[in-house]
């Protein structure tokens, strides 16, 4: 068992900041002490195996990214990060836990898929991982399996109002699944976009020769998101199930969530860094020498990036301050341009949907601290504490306190990274481009510990494949 002292830093929890030393014994935080504390008269720094000097730095709980899709089969291909490459990239970015989605496609058995995802992840992950379950075939066997999965630590279930024939559930199916969630305490997650409206708009756009990535954005308008968000809230209200709306990008959807919360409902919203930093015009509408107007494919994801002229980003940052939106996850679903995104040249609807950001979430959210949009404790709350509470991991994850897992990041507020690709490549995700290329990041992840082991230090990876363990989650600790 190794003992480590992280000395002289400023510990930041969701509840506040303070100068403190953090003592880790084996895999667990043993004590959070006044700086320079002694143990039975002995200098603590002289009694431990390793000392990490965090002077001038923030000491924060490891990031929890509650929305990833490692090696997900989707859009005729597989997300390009495996559990191995994706969780290693997460570690580089200060994220020490992920919650990934087990996929059920129509006619598949939930339990078989759940075991398959364990086979993909076991022995391969760099950091700890849990699972949500996607439900695409709501029938009796699936509903019964929900109870079994909860006993296995899968306590949240995602349904889709879009992607007909692939993921989409109709309102009756959603109602049945939500009734089950109300009964067994599961968190019901919703991809809230009106798929029928979108499918018609996509066909009309393509028929008019509007085939470039920009039209991915215009054919998934905010009305489709607002309507679906409202409908999901009504089904949650009717059944009593808690509802978590994933990847919210439209300010009108935020308003629906805020109104539901004002009525006292257990309704929560998640946004993603792309909706806080990127736009329809600047990214989906981009062109380059290499790709022409297909450049925008790099940012095709759903819900789509919104217009910068409509105030979505501003409302999203505001909602993070007011807690109208509680969560920031990446929805990490990377595809390379070569051979993957390329499938949609000449038809944007064939571009696999997804952006890779698992490595950058902690940094990208820190930019909100730098620009004064959020406070330091709120940064930690958004990147670690709330995801841990929302998905039943809090106490072990999401906080620096005795008894918690030794998942700790030493963050340098004076550090800087220019995100780049090619020669100056600064990311470790298995992607041939970066959705964040050219971004100037103030602050820097210096050292990352996962259950007491230093896995990243000074840009070097010191962990090993298989360090990460399955997190058997409990029910949400965020419900009112």
CB environment 235-259: b (16+ within 10 A), e (fewer): bbbebebbbbbbbbbbbbbbbbbbe
Residues in the chain: 480
Binding part of the chain for Zn ion, among 22-30, 202-210, 403-411, 436-444 by CB under 5 A, reads: 436-444
Query: What is the Cα–Cα distance from 158 to 166, expressed in whole angstroms?
Result: 13
The partner in contact with residue 412, picked from ligand URP, Zn ion, none with C-beta cut-offs of 5 to 8 angstroms by kind, is Zn ion
The partner in contact with residue 354, picked from Zn ion, ligand URP, none with C-beta cut-offs of 5 to 8 angstroms by kind, is ligand URP
- The answer to whether 412 contacts Zn ion (rule: CB under 5 A) is yes
Query: What is the Cα–Cα distance from 443 to 1, expressed in whole angstroms?
Result: 31
**Location of structure tokens 């954005």:** 217
Tell the smallest beta-carbon distance from residue 71 to ligand URP (Å): 13
Q: Note whether 416 and 442 are within 8 A (CB).
A: yes
Site string for ligand URP, 299-318 (x = CB under 6 A): --xx----------------
Tell the smallest beta-carbon distance from residue 280 to ligand URP (Å): 15
The partner in contact with residue 146, picked from ligand URP, Zn ion, none with C-beta cut-offs of 5 to 8 angstroms by kind, is none
Binding-site size, ligand URP (CB under 6 A): 9
- The answer to whether 331 contacts ligand URP (rule: CB under 6 A) is yes
Question: Regarding beta strands 77-78 and 408-418, do their DSSP bridges make them parallel or antiparallel, or are they unpaired?
Answer: unpaired
The partner in contact with residue 353, picked from ligand URP, Zn ion, none with C-beta cut-offs of 5 to 8 angstroms by kind, is ligand URP
Task: Select from 99, 25, 29 the least CA-distant residue to 60.
Answer: 29
Residue 4 tokens read as 């480590």
Write out the H or E segment, with its range, that includes residue 230.
helix 222-239
Find the binder of Zn ion among 415, 437, 442, 461 (CB under 5 A): 415
Site string for Zn ion, 308-347 (x = CB under 5 A): -----------------------x----------------
Exposed / middle / buried, residue 471 (Cβ in 10 Å: 0-12, 13-18, 19+): buried
Find the binder of ligand URP among 354, 368, 443, 463 (CB under 6 A): 354
The partner in contact with residue 301, picked from ligand URP, Zn ion, none with C-beta cut-offs of 5 to 8 angstroms by kind, is ligand URP
- The answer to whether 69 contacts ligand URP (rule: CB under 6 A) is yes
CA 276 to chain CA centroid, Å, is 13
Give 84 or 100: the residue with its C-beta nearer to ligand URP. Answer: 100
Tell the smallest beta-carbon distance from residue 325 to ligand URP (Å): 17
Site string for ligand URP, 422-451 (x = CB under 6 A): ------------------------------
**Location of structure tokens 């920031």:** 328
Exposed / middle / buried, residue 333 (Cβ in 10 Å: 0-12, 13-18, 19+): buried
Applying the rule CB under 6 A, the residues between 102 and 131 that interact with ligand URP are none
Neighbours of 18 (CB within 10 A): 12
Residue 134 tokens read as 């996607």
In the DSSP assignment, the letter for residue 405 is B
- The answer to whether 191 contacts ligand URP (rule: CB under 6 A) is yes
In the DSSP assignment, the letter for residue 332 is B
Residue 479 tokens read as 């419900």
SS3 content of the chain, % helix, strand, coil (to 5): 35, 25, 40
- The answer to whether 21 contacts ligand URP (rule: CB under 6 A) is no
Please tell me whether residue 239 adopts helix, strand or coil conformation: helix
Q: Note whether 389 and 402 are within 8 A (CB).
A: no
The partner in contact with residue 453, picked from ligand URP, Zn ion, none with C-beta cut-offs of 5 to 8 angstroms by kind, is none
Tell the smallest beta-carbon distance from residue 160 to ligand URP (Å): 7
Give 354 or 452: the residue with its C-beta nearer to ligand URP. Answer: 354
Applying the rule CB under 6 A, the residues between 195 and 254 that interact with ligand URP are 247
Which residue number has the CB closest to ligand URP? 353
Query: What is the Cα–Cα distance from 222 to 231, expressed in whole angstroms?
Result: 14
Binding part of the chain for Zn ion, among 132-140, 192-200, 445-453, 463-471 by CB under 5 A, reads: 445-453
Task: Select from 426, 430, 464 the least CA-distant residue to 445.
Answer: 426
Interface residues toward ligand URP, by CB under 6 A: 69, 191, 247, 301-302, 331, 333, 353-354
Contact residues for Zn ion, defined by CB under 5 A? 191, 331, 412, 415, 444, 446
């Amino acid at each position: 068992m190794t003992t480590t002292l992280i000395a002289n830093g400023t510990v930041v929890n969701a509840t506040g900041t303070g100068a403190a030393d953090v003592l880790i014994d084996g895999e667990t935080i043993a004590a959070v002490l006044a700086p320079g504390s002694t143990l039975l008269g002995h200098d603590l720094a002289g009694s431990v195996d390793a000392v990490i000097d965090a002077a001038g730095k923030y000491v924060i709980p490891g990031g929890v990214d509650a929305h990833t899709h490692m090696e997900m089969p989707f859009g005729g291909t597989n997300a390009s990060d495996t559990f191995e490459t994706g969780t290693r990239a997460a570690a580089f970015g200060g994220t020490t836990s992920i919650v990934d989605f087990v996929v059920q496609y129509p006619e598949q058995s939930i339990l078989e898929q759940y075991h398959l995802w364990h086979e993909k992840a076991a022995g391969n992950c760099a950091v700890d991982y849990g699972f949500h379950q996607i439900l695409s075939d709501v029938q009796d066997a699936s509903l019964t399996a929900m109870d079994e999965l909860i006993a296995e630590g899968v306590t949240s279930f995602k349904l889709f109002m879009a992607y007909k024939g692939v993921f989409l559930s109709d309102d009756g199916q959603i109602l049945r699944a939500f009734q089950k969630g109300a009964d067994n305490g599961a968190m019901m997650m919703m991809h809230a976009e009106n798929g029928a409206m979108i499918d018609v708009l996509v066909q009309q756009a393509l028929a008019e020769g509007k085939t470039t990535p920009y039209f991915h954005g215009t054919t998934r308008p905010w009305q489709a998101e607002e309507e679906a968000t409202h409908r999901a809230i009504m089904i949650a209200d009717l059944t009593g199930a808690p509802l978590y709306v994933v990847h919210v990008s439209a300010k009108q959807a935020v308003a629906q969530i805020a109104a539901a919360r004002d009525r006292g409902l257990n309704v929560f919203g998640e946004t993603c860094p792309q909706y806080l930093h990127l736009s329809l015009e600047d990214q989906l509408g981009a062109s380059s020498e290499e790709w022409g107007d297909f450049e925008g494919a790099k940012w095709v994801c759903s819900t789509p990036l919104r217009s910068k002229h409509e105030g979505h980003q501003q409302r999203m940052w505001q909602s993070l301050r007011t807690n109208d939106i509680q969560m920031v996850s990446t929805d990490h679903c990377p595809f390379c341009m070569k051979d993957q995104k390329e499938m949609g040249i000449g038809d944007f609807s064939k571009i696999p949907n997804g952006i890779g950001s698992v490595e950058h979430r902690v940094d990208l959210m820190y930019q909100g601290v730098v620009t004064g949009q959020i406070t330091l404790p709120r940064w930690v709350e958004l990147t670690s504490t709330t995801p841990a509470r929302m998905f039943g991991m809090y106490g072990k994850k999401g906080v620096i306190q005795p008894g918690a897992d030794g998942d700790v990041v030493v963050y340098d507020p004076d550090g800087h990274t220019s995100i780049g690709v090619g020669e100056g490549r600064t990311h470790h995700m298995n992607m041939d481009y970066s959705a964040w290329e050219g971004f100037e990041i103030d602050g820097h992840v210096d050292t990352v510990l996962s259950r007491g082991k230093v896995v990243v230090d000074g840009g070097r990876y010191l962990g090993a494949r298989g360090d990460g363990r399955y997190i058997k989650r409990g029910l949400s600790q965020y419900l009112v």
